[in-house]
Chains A and B, each alone.
Chain A
Amino acid sequence: MNTLGPSPHPFEVSATADPGYHNSLPLLHEIAHALRLLRLKGTTTTLDLSAIPFGPGDERLLLECLGRGEVSAKLEALGDSHIWESAYPGVWVIEHRNSCGERIAFQVEITRLPSILETRLEDIEEGLLALQRALANLQTDKSV
């Protein structure tokens, strides 16, 4: 299945060699700018990477530069999503895949916590109900 590894290309591209295009570089600057905004005003920013015309190697270069931080999460809904904090706290990488493992969205979110990880209020309500039901069941069992 398609993973983050480099895909085979008809010509060689390495992150260190200068292939002449670096759409990842301006993007890194944009990330730094967004991070500054987050610190100063608390503004969160979402960058949609699929809207950026990456050349071969660009994505690898970007991910190599961002690195991996200490938090990593996996969301299992309509396929697996991977969410991890980069080596730079506050910069998160979010990769949504469908149940076939195909990538359907790829984002960098500059935030304290990606919203997709937060629990929805409706889910909390439903969860509370479910928990209460479970507790009631437990008590019923005891009393019996």
Chain B
Amino acid sequence: MADLTTGTLGDTLRRNGVSRRGFLKFCTATASMMALPPSMVPVLAAALDNAQRPSVIWLSFQECTGCTESLTRSHTPTLESLIFDHISLDYHHTLQVASGHAAEAAREAAMQASAGKYLLVVDGSIPLGNPGFSTIAGVSNLQILEETAAGAAAVIAMGSCAAFGGLPKADPNPTGAVAVRDIVTDKPVINVSGCPPIPVVITGVLAHYLTFGTLPELDQYSRPKAFYGTSIHDRCYRRPFYDKGLFANTFDDEGAKKGWCLYKLGCKGPMTYNACATVKWNEGTSWPVESGHGCLGCSQPDFWDAGGFYNALSIPVGDISRTASYAVAAGVALGAAAAGINRKTKTEANRQHSTVTVDDLEKTS
């Protein structure tokens, strides 16, 4: 893994015995993944052939390793692996054999060797409440991130924790968790949100970086538009049911069996931007909505605190029924008070009435 020999991706592939048709096939798949039009395949092929081998450092903070799982599980040797074979993953404390000081030494070596050029991938959020909440080799997450980010070309925040603070940040956020973007402000940060994120997204980002030497176009949340450009709702195959007003009301009713829209069961598809509906999960087998469960909105900021998972999106976060009941009680009390004041004003006016006679008709001048 610490092989720092330079070379292009084309070299790597050919060394691995990849034919030109194989390479074209690979480029076709990559273009498809990056949502590039098929006409871009030759451009992609030419660029990838000459792509340089980048160094990657992967840091994990307050996280559950789900992101790493998502990325590495069952995907060897795959498209991702081709890319990953090409990159130099110089530090990943979950995956690497080395540990402790040896591992940290590897990280520092990579940082020095490729200063200003390496990509930094981060999963997990950073606790600001107390540096001791999460440390590696006795060094706080914050310190490691600041040090490592300083020499990075760009930072990829992998997963909703790194991108938005995620689960650790859920109310009341006991560790004072923050996202990478809250710490790293002077470098490009690409958020690859999701809990976990779709693995090909990171491959796509790397492919883009390798191909064009730049970062892909990003949305408002610094997420690659190619994957996060459309909402789950807009790409959902159940969308026609939403439009027709056909909804599942429970998880076992006729509507659910017929595959109707899950909006009423709390699907957060309309406000969630991700590529699940087309890329799907588990080797393209299925995805949450297809398997009968609404989208949780895991690629959106604060999804954990955005009201009940099983409440329709239009339902407010709080207990609106209770609020309304209290308000009715308060309204009746205040209304009675207002009524009392009005009656007093009116009674007083009646009391002050002085009878009008024909002698009073002219105005006092």
Contacts and interface: CB of A to CB of B under 8 A. Distances in A.
Q: Do chains A and B touch in the complex (CB under 8 A)?
A: yes
Given A21-B240, A123-B20, A9 B290 contact: yes
Nearest to A101: B283
Interface string A91-130: 0000010111011110100000001100010110000000
A58 B237 contact: yes
Nearest to B235: A53
Contacts of A53: 235-237, 277-278
Chain A interface main SS type = loop
Contact of B240 (A20, A51, A81): A20
A101 B353 CA distance: 97
Given A52-B278, A75-B21, A105-B25, A10 B292 contact: yes
Interface in B245-270: 246, 256-260
A55 B259 contact: yes
A4 interface: no
B246 A20 contact: yes
B257 A77 contact: no
B321 interface: no
Contact of A7 (B38, B285, B292): B285
Given A77-B18, A78-B22, A100-B76, 5 more contacts: A20-B244, A20-B259, A21-B237, A21-B241, A75-B21
B78 A19 contact: no
Contact of A48 (B32, B237, B284): B32
A55 B38 contact: no
B18 A96 contact: no
24 contacts: A7-B286, A9-B286, A11-B292, A20-B241, A21-B240, A21-B241, A21-B259, A23-B237, A46-B38, A48-B38, A51-B35, A53-B235, A53-B237, A55-B237, A55-B238, A56-B259, A96-B25, A98-B79, A100-B74, A104-B78, A116-B24, A120-B20, A122-B20, A123-B19
A10 B237 contact: no
A19 B77 CA distance: 37
B292 to A, nearest CB: 5
Interface of A: 2, 7, 9-11, 13, 19-21, 23, 46, 48, 50-56, 58, 75, 77-78, 81, 96, 98-100, 102-105, 107, 115-116, 120, 122-123
Nearest to B237: A55
Contacts of A99: 77-78
A82 to B, nearest CB: 12
B309 interface: no
Contacts of B277: 53
Determine the interface band of chain B, counting residues with CB < 8 A from chain A. 35 or more
A10 B248 CA distance: 14
Nearest to B279: A50
B62 interface: no
Contacts of B20: 120, 122-123
Contacts of B334: none
A116 B290 contact: no
A50 B36 CA distance: 12
A96 B241 CA distance: 32
B304 interface: no
A105 B78 CA distance: 12
Contacts of A52: 278
B207 to A, nearest CB: 13
Nearest to A105: B29
A107 B292 contact: no
Contacts of A13: 259
A13 B292 CA distance: 14
A102 B78 contact: yes
Contact of B259 (A11, A23, A81): A11
A81 B258 contact: no
B38 A77 contact: no
Contacts of B18: 77-78
Interface string B205-220: 0000000000000000
